[in-house]
C-alpha cells in the first residue's frame, strides 16, 4: 500500500467519514478506493479475472474482502521475485561480509550490483520477474577472503553456498630472454573443476572481486593470486608497457609456478576523421587479428583524432571503431594491417560517412504484432567482416541501420527470448533510403513429451540436446517422465543422451523432431552403468608420477545417423602414478573404435614419450603406461657460425664461432638438425653429454622419381591388405606408370580385383586416355580396354566419356549403341543410370544434331522430375533425398559440354525459388568457357550475378541461392583463361570477387600482367590470403621474379609465425609454408619441418592428421625422409594415417614439374584420388 502512497490510517479515517455521508457519497468513495486496490494488484503483477457485475458487487458491498484478497494473492507473487543467498564455510558457519556480485537481466539491460552478506551470512535481492528454473535470470559469484570463489546461475529463490579453502596461483613474468619483468599487471578469469564435464567459467562481475584477482609483478617478476578454486584453471592476461600483451591458461596449482614470457610489442598508429573531415576525438578504436581470437588491442583517439594501439603481438590485423549501441555514421575497418615487432605501423586515415539509413519493422509471423528487442545486421554481400547493426526494436518493432550503397544483406541477428527463426533479405541500396523492410520471427513453440525406459515405464532423466545452437541444452523429466521445453532455435530437436552419478542414458529411438511438432515426443532410453578407465603415468625409468592431472576425451554417439557430442573427463594420479576415470561410456556408445578415446597428460616440465594405448576387459578400459620424460636435458655442439639449430621442437642459433646450446630437452635420443645458406646437416643426439658435431652440406629439392613412387605405391598396396586399406587398391598404383605405358596398364586391369571402385577408376582413366589413341584402330582399342569393366552402367559411362573427349563420330556411334543395349536390357543402377542419361543427351547431339540431343535431354529430365521430390525431405535433422532441382544443378556441368540451347533448356527448368539455379550457372560457366569460349562464359556470368536471391527454404544453406557467392566461385575459375586474352579484364574480374577466393584470383591474374602490376597483385594476394594459401601465392611470385618472391615469402612466413603463436591454432601453418619454400631454400624448409615434427611428436594429443601434413610437405624436400616420417606416425582411429601419408608421398614423387608448380597443398587431402596426369587434380 505504501507503494501507492496510501496508508492504513487514511483508509480507516476515510471509512469513518463515509459513515456520516449519504449512500451516493459512500458508493463514490468505495469506487475511488477500489481504483487504488486495482492499481495495487496490477503493480504486483496479479491477474484479476472477474465478471463485471460480480466485481462491482464485491467492490461496493465488501470492499475490505477485495482488499485483503488482493493482498493475500500479492504476497506469494512478491515472494517469487525475492532471492535469498546464504554463504557458509565448509563447517556450516556463516561468513559475514562475503561479497556477492550479481549480473541480472532486467527488462531492457543487464543490472550489475555487489552485495555483502550480513552477520548470518545472508543477503537478499529482488528480480523484475519470478524465477524460471529453466531460464536463469542471470548469475552471481560469491567471495570471502581465504576461500575459493564460487558461483551459480540465478535459477532458484534460495541459493546456498559452502565455500572451500582456495589455492594460490603463482607465477613469474619474464622477457623472451628469461629476464624478470617488474610492474606487469596480471588479471585473471577463473574456471572451477567439474568432475563430469568441462571446467565451469566463473564470471568475475563487480569491481571489488575483479581487483581481488588482479596482481602486479614484483622486482623479480613474481606475482601470486590467492583464493582460486582448487584444481581449477586460471585464464590470464598480462599487460606491461613496451611489451606485447600475453594471454593464456594455466592450471591453478600451488605446487607449480607459471612462467609467462612477454615479447616486444608492435604498434599501430592512425587518425580518425568525422563525416566533415575534422578529427574525431574520444572514440574507442580496436585492432583485432584477422584470425578470430588470436590478438586484440584498443586505444582512444585524442583531440587531434590520432590513436596509437600498443601492446600488440606481430601479426595481421583489422583496425576499426568499436560499435556503440547506434553509431550515427559508418566507418569501414582497415583490413590486413601487418604489425611488426618494435615498429609502429602507420595506417591510412579512417573517415566516417553518413551512409544510407534503412529502416523497417520486425513482426511476429502470423499475427503481425511488433517484436520488441530484435536487431538487424547488415553487410555487403560476400564481405562478412564489414557489418553494421541496428538498434534494438522498441514497442513498435521498428529498427534503423546505416549501410553503404551496394548489394547489401540484411538479416535478423538478435532474436529476443520467446522467438525463433532467421529472416534475411538482399537489397540493392542506392543513394536514397529504400522503402521500409519487414522481417518476421516466429513465436517459440513449447514442445512436450515423456521419457520412458526400454519397457515403456516413465523415468526421471535429464537429456542433452545436440546441434542447432541451442542455449537451453537440457530436457528434464519429472517422476512421471513428463517434460516440456520452449524452443530457442528453429533447428530440429535431437538429443544425445544424458547422465547422472549412477550411469548414462542411451537413446533407443533417437531421431530429429521438427520444432513445429504438435505431437508429444517420446524419448525411449536405457540406463547404462558407467565403465571405468585406468592406467599409470611413469617416467622413462618406470618411476610413478603422483599428482598429475590426466584428461580423457571422446565423442559420444547421438543417434543412428552418427551425430556426436564431445565429452571430457579429468582425474589425478595417486602416489603410485595410478589414475581412474569412473565415468566412461561403453565402446558401442562411442563414435569410433577403442582408439577414439584420447588420454592426455602434460605436467609442467615434462613431455610425452609413449604409451596410452587402450584395451578392454569385461567392458571396462585399461591404458598401458603413459611414459613422460623430464625436460631437463642440455646438449651443446658445433656447427657453422650463426646457423639455426633445432631439436625436439626447440630452436636456437649458433654463436659467431658455431657453438650452440639447447636446454629444456627431453631425455632419450632425438634428431638434431641445422641449416644455413642452403646447407643442411643433422645427427642423432644419444642419451649422453657428449658434444654434437653438425656438418652442413648443400641440398636440393626432391626431383621427380617415378621408380621410387611406384615402389612406394606397391608397398602400400601390399601393406594395405592386412590393414583393410582399400581406398587405394591395385588399379590405382598400376595406373601410376611412366608415360608411354598407360595403354598396357589399362589393359592389365583385368588382372586386378573386380570392384566398383576399380570399375569407376578405370572408366575415368579411359575417358582421359582416349584422345591419345590413334584414329585408325581407336574403337577397337577402346573395346579392348572397356571390356575390363564389370558393371554395365559404368561400362556405358566409359564409352560416353570417351565420346565426349574426342571428336570422332565412330566412337560416338559406338557409345550410343552401347547405350541402347544397356538401357533396354539392364536393370538401372541409380545414380549411374541418371548420370548416363544426361551424358547420352550430349553425345546424341554431337552425333545426330541438336534436335535429337534436345529429345534425349527431355527424356533425362523427365526421369529426374519423376524420381526426385520437389522439396527437400528431412530425416534425423538432415536432408534425406536429393531434390529434382538439385539433380538438375548437378547435371548442368555435363549439359554445358553440349550446345548453348541444351544448357538454356536445363537452366530454365530449375525452379528459381530453390536457389539451385545460381549454383547450376556457377558449375556450368567454366565448362562453357572451355567448350564455347570465354566470351560466352562472361555473358553467362553477368546473367548469374543479376539473378534474384530467393528466400532461404527449410533445410537449405543460406549461401545456396546467393548469386554473389556463386559468382565468386565461377569467376575465380575463369581468371586463367581470361588473363591469356585480356590481362586487364582478368584484374577487373578478380576485383569483383568479394570473398576469400579473391586472393587466389589476384594471384592468377598477376601471371599475365606487367612486372609492376603483377607485384601489386601478388602483394595484395599474399597479404589477404588465408595462412595456408599465402606461401602458394608467394611461390607463384617467385617463379616470375625471385626478388619479389623472396619479399612475398617473408610476408607468408610472418603470417605463419603469427598463426602458430595464436591462442587458438586451428591447424599447423608450417607444413604449407615449408612445402612451397622448398623451391627457394630446401635446407631452410627441411629445418622448419624437422622443428615442427619434433614439436608435434611430443604432444600426447597430437593426431595423425597433423603429422601427415608434415610428412607430406617433407616429400618436396626429401622423399626418403618423408617416408621415414610416414612410417613413424602413430596409428589413428582407423589405422590408416601411415598408409594415407605414403600414398601422398608417392603421388608427389611421380608428379611432373608442371603439376608441382601450382600444386594446392592446403587442399591435398588425406583421402583424395589424385593421380599424375589428371587435369582436375
The grid cell for 914 is 530453390
In which residue are the cell numbers 520471427 written?
A: 441
Sheet holding 334-339: strands in order across?
A: 296-300, 284-289, 315-321, 334-339
Q: Which 8-state DSSP code applies to residue 4? A: G
Q: Which pLDDT score is estimated for 1045?
A: 95
Q: Which residues of the chain have pLDDT under 50?
A: 1-61, 63-79, 195-198, 468-470, 560-563, 594, 726-743, 745-756, 953-959, 1133-1134, 1166-1177
Contact between 694 and 638 (Cβ < 8 Å): yes
- Residue 900 makes CB contacts below 8 A (sequence gap 6+) with 928, 932, 936
Q: Which pLDDT score is estimated for 210?
A: 78
831 prior amide bond cis, ω within 30: yes
Q: For the whole model, what pTM was predicted?
A: 0.75
DSSP helix/strand/coil, 664 = strand
CA-to-CA separations, 408 to 403, 472, 551, in angstroms, rounded: 8, 32, 47
- In the 3-class helix/strand/coil scheme, how is 147-168 assigned residue by residue? ECCEEEECCCCEEEEEECECEE
CA end-to-end distance (rounded Å), the chain: 81
Strands 578-584 and 531-539: antiparallel
Task: Select from 819, 821, 809 the least CA-distant residue to 860.
Answer: 819
Q: Which pLDDT score is estimated for 809?
A: 93
In which residue are the cell numbers 541501420 written?
A: 401
Task: Select from 936, 959, 962 the least CA-distant residue to 949.
Answer: 962
DSSP helix/strand/coil, 346 = strand
User: Can you state the angle between helices 52-61 and 23-43, rounded to 10 degrees?
Assistant: 120
Q: Which pLDDT score is estimated for 732?
A: 45
The grid cell for 68 is 485483503
Amino acid at each position: 500500500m505504501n507503494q501507492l502512497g496510501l496508508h492504513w490510517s487514511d483508509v480507516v479515517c476515510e471509512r469513518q467519514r463515509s459513515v456520516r455521508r449519504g449512500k451516493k457519497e459512500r458508493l463514490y468513495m468505495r469506487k475511488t478506493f477500489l481504483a487504488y486496490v486495482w492499481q495495487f494488484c496490477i503493480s504486483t503483477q496479479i491477474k484479476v479475472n472477474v465478471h463485471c457485475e460480480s466485481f462491482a458487487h464485491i467492490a461496493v458491498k465488501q470492499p475490505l474482502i477485495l482488499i485483503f484478497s488482493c493482498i493475500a494473492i500479492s504476497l506469494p507473487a512478491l515472494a517469487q521475485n525475492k532471492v535469498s543467498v546464504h554463504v557458509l564455510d565448509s563447517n556450516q558457519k556463516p561468513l559475514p561480509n562475503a561479497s556477492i556480485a550479481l549480473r541480472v537481466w532486467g527488462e531492457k539491460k543487464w543490472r550489475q550490483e555487489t552485495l555483502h552478506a550480513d552477520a548470518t551470512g545472508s543477503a537478499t535481492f529482488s528480480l523484475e520477474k519470478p524465477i524460471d528454473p529453466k531460464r536463469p535470470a542471470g548469475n552471481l559469484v560469491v567471495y570471502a577472503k581465504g576461500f575459493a570463489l564460487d558461483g551459480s546461475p540465478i535459477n532458484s529463490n534460495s541459493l546456498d553456498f559452502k565455500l572451500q579453502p582456495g589455492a594460490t596461483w603463482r607465477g613469474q613474468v619474464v622477457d623472451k630472454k628469461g629476464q624478470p619483468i617488474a610492474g606487469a599487471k596480471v588479471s585473471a578469469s577463473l574456471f572451477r573443476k567439474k568432475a563430469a564435464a568441462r571446467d565451469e567459467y566463473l564470471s568475475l562481475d563487480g569491481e571489488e572481486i575483479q581487483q581481488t584477482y588482479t596482481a602486479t609483478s614484483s622486482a623479480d617478476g613474481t606475482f601470486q593470486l590467492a583464493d582460486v578454486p582448487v584444481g581449477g584453471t586460471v585464464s590470464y592476461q598480462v599487460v606491461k608497457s613496451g611489451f606485447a600483451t600475453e594471454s593464456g591458461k594455466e592450471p591453478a596449482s600451488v605446487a607449480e609456478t607459471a612462467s609467462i614470457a612477454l615479447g616486444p610489442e608492435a604498434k599501430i598508429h592512425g587518425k580518425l576523421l568525422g563525416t566533415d573531415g575534422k578529427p574525431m576525438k574520444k572514440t574507442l578504436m580496436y585492432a583485432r587479428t584477422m584470425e578470430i581470437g588470436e590478438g586484440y588491442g584498443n586505444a582512444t583517439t585524442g583531440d587531434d583524432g590520432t590513436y596509437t594501439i600498443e601492446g600488440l603481438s606481430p601479426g595481421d590485423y583489422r583496425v576499426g571503431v568499436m560499435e556503440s549501441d547506434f553509431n550515427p555514421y559508418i566507418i569501414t575497418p582497415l583490413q590486413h594491417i601487418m604489425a611488426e615487432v618494435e615498429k609502429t605501423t602507420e595506417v591510412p586515415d579512417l573517415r566516417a560517412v553518413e551512409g544510407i539509413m534503412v529502416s523497417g519493422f520486425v513482426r511476429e509471423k502470423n499475427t503481425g504484432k511488433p517484436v520488441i528487442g530484435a536487431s538487424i545486421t547488415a553487410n555487403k554481400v560476400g564481405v562478412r567482416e564489414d557489418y553494421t547493426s541496428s538498434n534494438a526494436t522498441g514497442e513498435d518493432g521498428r529498427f534503423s541501420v546505416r549501410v553503404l550503397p551496394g548489394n547489401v544483406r540484411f538479416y535478423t541477428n538478435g532474436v529476443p527470448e520467446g522467438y525463433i527463426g532467421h529472416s534475411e533479405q538482399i537489397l540493392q541500396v542506392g543513394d536514397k533510403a529504400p522503402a521500409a523492410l519487414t522481417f518476421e520471427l516466429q513465436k517459440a513453440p513449447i514442445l512436450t513429451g515423456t521419457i520412458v525406459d526400454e519397457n515403456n515405464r516413465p523415468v526421471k532423466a535429464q537429456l542433452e540436446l545436440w546441434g542447432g545452437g541451442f542455449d537451453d541444452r537440457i530436457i528434464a523429466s519429472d517422476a512421471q517422465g513428463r517434460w516440456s521445453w520452449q524452443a530457442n532455435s528453429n533447428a530440429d530437436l535431437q538429443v544425445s543422451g544424458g547422465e547422472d552419478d549412477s550411469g548414462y542414458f542411451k537413446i533407443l529411438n533417437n531421431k530429429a523432431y521438427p520444432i513445429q511438432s504438435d505431437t508429444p515426443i517420446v524419448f525411449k532410453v536405457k540406463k547404462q552403468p558407467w565403465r571405468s578407465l585406468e592406467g599409470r603415468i611413469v617416467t622413462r625409468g618406470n618411476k610413478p608420477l603422483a599428482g598429475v592431472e590426466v584428461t580423457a576425451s571422446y565423442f559420444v554417439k547421438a543417434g543412428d545417423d552418427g551425430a556426436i557430442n564431445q565429452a571430457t573427463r579429468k582425474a589425478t594420479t595417486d602416489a603410485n602414478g595410478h589414475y581412474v576415470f569412473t565415468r566412461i561410456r561403453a565402446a558401442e556408445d562411442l563414435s569410433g573404435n577403442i582408439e577414439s578415446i584420447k588420454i592426455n597428460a602434460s605436467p609442467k616440465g615434462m613431455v610425452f614419450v609413449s604409451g596410452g594405448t587402450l584395451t578392454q576387459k569385461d567392458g571396462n578400459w585399461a591404458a598401458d603406461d603413459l611414459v613422460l620424460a623430464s625436460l631437463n636435458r642440455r646438449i651443446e655442439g658445433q656447427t657453422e657460425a650463426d646457423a639455426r639449430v633445432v631439436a625436439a621442437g626447440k630452436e636456437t642459433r649458433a654463436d659467431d664461432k658455431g657453438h650452440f646450446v639447447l636446454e629444456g630437452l627431453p631425455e632419450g635420443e632425438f634428431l638434431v638438425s641445422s641449416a644455413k645458406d642452403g646447407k643442411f646437416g643433422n645427427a642423432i643426439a644419444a642419451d649422453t653429454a657428449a658434444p654434437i658435431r653438425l656438418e652442413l652440406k648443400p641440398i636440393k629439392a626432391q626431383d621427380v622419381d617415378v621408380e621410387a613412387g611406384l615402389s612406394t605405391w606397391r608397398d602400400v598396396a601390399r601393406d594395405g591388405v592386412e590393414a583393410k586399406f582399400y581406398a587405394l587398391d591395385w588399379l590405382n598404383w598400376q595406373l601410376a606408370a611412366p608415360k608411354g605405358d598407360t595403354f598396357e596398364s589399362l589393359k592389365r586391369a583385368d588382372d586386378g580385383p573386380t570392384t566398383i571402385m576399380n570399375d569407376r577408376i578405370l572408366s575415368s582413366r579411359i575417358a582421359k586416355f582416349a584422345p591419345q589413341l590413334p584414329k585408325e584402330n581407336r574403337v577397337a582399342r577402346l573395346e579392348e580396354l572397356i571390356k575390363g569393366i564389370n558393371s554395365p552402367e559404368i561400362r556405358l559411362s566409359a564409352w560416353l566419356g570417351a565420346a565426349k573427349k574426342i571428336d570422332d563420330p565412330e566412337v560416338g556411334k559406338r557409345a550410343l549403341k552401347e547405350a541402347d543395349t544397356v538401357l533396354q536390357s539392364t536393370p538401372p543402377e541409380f545414380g549411374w543410370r541418371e548420370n548416363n542419361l544426361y551424358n547420352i543427351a550430349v553425345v546424341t547431339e554431337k552425333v545426330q544434331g541438336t534436335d535429337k540431343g534436345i529429345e534425349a535431354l527431355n527424356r533425362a529430365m523427365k526421369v529426374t522430375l519423376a524420381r526426385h521430390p520437389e522439396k527437400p525431405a528431412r530425416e534425423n535433422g538432415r536432408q534425406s533425398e536429393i531434390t529434382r532441382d538439385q539433380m538438375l544443378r548437378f547435371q548442368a556441368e555435363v549439359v554445358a559440354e553440349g550446345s548453348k540451347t541444351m544448357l538454356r533448356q536445363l537452366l530454365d527448368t530449375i525452379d528459381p525459388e530453390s536457389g539451385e539455379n545460381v549454383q547450376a550457372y556457377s558449375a556450368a560457366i567454366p565448362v562453357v568457357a572451355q567448350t564455347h569460349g570465354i566470351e560466352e562464359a562472361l555473358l553467362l556470368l553477368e546473367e548469374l550475378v543479376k539473378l534474384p536471391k530467393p528466400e532461404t527454404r527449410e533445410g537449405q544453406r543460406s549461401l545456396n541461392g546467393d548469386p554473389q557467392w556463386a559468382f565468386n566461385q565461377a569467376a575465380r575459375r575463369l581468371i586463367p583463361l581470361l588473363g591469356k586474352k585480356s590481362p586487364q579484364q582478368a584484374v577487373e574480374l578478380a576485383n569483383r570477387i568479394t570473398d576469400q577466393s579473391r586472393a587466389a584470383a589476384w594471384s592468377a591474374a598477376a601471371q599475365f600482367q606487367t612486372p609492376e602490376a603483377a607485384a601489386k597483385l601478388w602483394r595484395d594476394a599474399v597479404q589477404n590470403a588465408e595462412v595456408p594459401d599465402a606461401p602458394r601465392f608467394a611461390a607463384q611470385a617467385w617463379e616470375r621474379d625471385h626478388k619479389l618472391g623472396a619479399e612475398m615469402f617473408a610476408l607468408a612466413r610472418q603470417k605463419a609465425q603469427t598463426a602458430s603463436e595464436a591462442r587458438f591454432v586451428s591447424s599447423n601453418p608450417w607444413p604449407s609454408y615449408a612445402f612451397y619454400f622448398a623451391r627457394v631454400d630446401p635446407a631452410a624448409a627441411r629445418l622448419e619441418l624437422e622443428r615442427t615434427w619434433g614439436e608435434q611428436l611430443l604432444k600426447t594429443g597430437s593426431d595423425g592428421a597433423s603429422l601427415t601434413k608434415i610428412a607430406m610437405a617433407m616429400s618436396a624436400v626429401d622423399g626418403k625422409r618423408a617416408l621415414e616420417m610416414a612410417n613413424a606416425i602413430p596409428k589413428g582411429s582407423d589405422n590408416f594415417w601411415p598408409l594415407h601419408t605414403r600414398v601422398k608421398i608417392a603421388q608427389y614423387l611421380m608428379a611432373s614439374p608442371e603439376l608441382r608448380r601450382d600444386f594446392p597443398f592446403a587442399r591435398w587431402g588425406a583421402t583424395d584420388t589424385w593421380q599424375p596426369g589428371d587435369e582436375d587434380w
